Amino acid sequence: MKALFSSLAVATAIAIVGISSANAASRSTSTAGPNGKSISRTGSSACSGRSCSSAQALTGPRGNTASRSGNTSCSSGSCNGAATYTGPAGNTASRARSSTF
């Protein structure tokens, strides 16, 4: 599960960087393994001003879904972000971060 959340975080970072000039983006992919079972990923992100939000969901071959949603906003030399992760059983974990520059 930790690897899954790491993948979601990387996907979010890519999505936010990739939309800097477009304001919104969405993407859906599906990958099949050698055993014929597939994993699907959907994601979307949007930015307005100095704030961005994103959401991703991964669905495994048995129909279990894990998701992540989050947002980041920057102003006056600092950025703040928060994310919520939801596992296949419905358990959630939250993370907040802040940085100054």
Q: What is the pLDDT of residue 20?
A: 46
The predicted pLDDT at position 22 comes to 56
Find the mean pLDDT for residues 32-60: 94
What is the predicted pLDDT for the residue at 41?
Answer: 96
Q: What is d(CA 72, CA 101) in angstroms, rounded to the nearest whole number? A: 15
Q: Are 54 and 61 in contact (CB under 8 A)?
A: no
Residue with tokens 């879904």: 65
- In the predicted model, what is the mean pLDDT of residues 68-87? 96
Please give the pLDDT value at position 18. Answer: 44
Q: What is the pLDDT of residues 14-29, one digit of tens each?
A: 444 444 445 899 999 9
